[in-house]
Structure 1
């Protein structure tokens, strides 16, 4: 007996990823605009304005994590016409998202060093350890090439069209690594991601019934509980 199929991760998760992921990443990039892009200036900016920099890096990290259902949404739509491009593009992009999440953890630790030991000590600690080996270094190629491969798949499958596929591919220009500030290509890449994914997210959101009334307070309650549990350690 075969099990009934279902579309993982579901319409609401896909819509949330397609809409919120790109917007949060763009917001994170814009919030730290105007500061030199290398880590000494990023740490100094955190010391001067910790709320803004925490919000910037937090929004970017949250947007990055929320992109995984967005990537699955693209892969599912590309697969029927271009399975190889869907497979390799989706796998590479997801690996790249994992690597950026690792970088976000390093960023968070570096900012805590500023709070605990001061900005000078934090800058020296990051300088002395910058480039140290870690297993995610091997995923740098995935961060760069994954979006291009997936974008070719969306174009060949007719999922996004040529303009929005090029906008999706622009994510390969987003700087990678630890404590990266905002440059012109950061804005181009994250704005391109919004152009590519937000219209699809709106379409997915409208393509079906609204959730039950109790889903909204339940989602808020679960989100609040998750935050409290995280703060409790």
Structure 2
């Protein structure tokens, strides 16, 4: 089974930084996805730059042509009620966009870490109660949220990561069938361990955050996506791919 993860689309009608067309970047990403034989498309937050209804409506129409199941989580730029309206039936509760998604032998626990009006996220009692109620005791699982609950080594991003990461770590340590934690928000791929699980952040489809000390800065490094593969009896594995496919040349 294969899950393709896009993140941080930042869709808006005009270019980002005057030079990056987020809709053209999404079109490139979806062309790449179409060639990957995916079973699910995951988008891990910041779908719309301004959280407006028109952007979500256009996105829903664009994704409808994929004929792929979708798994969506909100990011700090997103607006819950507008997302809920544009993707009817995707969530049960418009006040917290969490969802359990069973796909073959894997369960995705899509967790809403948004704090409205703030760039950082949090895992509070409501999220932990939801996890308790939806965790499958006998299925391989992944927890997915926008804000990473672990440090990524970029000071500006760590300041606006997921607060209360220790609470989630404590929950995960008691859940052996959770294999991984997948996130967005960081605008670059980062791979680490968290509470004994594989942990990863996805690149953005638009700009990347520079890996450097000091103030946050963006870079036009190649946008990309993650490909997560699940095979029976084998640990989950993840690949990074740039959005633009390169020639494949035999040795």
TM-score, normalization by structure 1: 0.23
| Larger CA Rg, structure 1 vs 2 | 1
Between Structure 1 and Structure 2, the one with more helix by share is 1
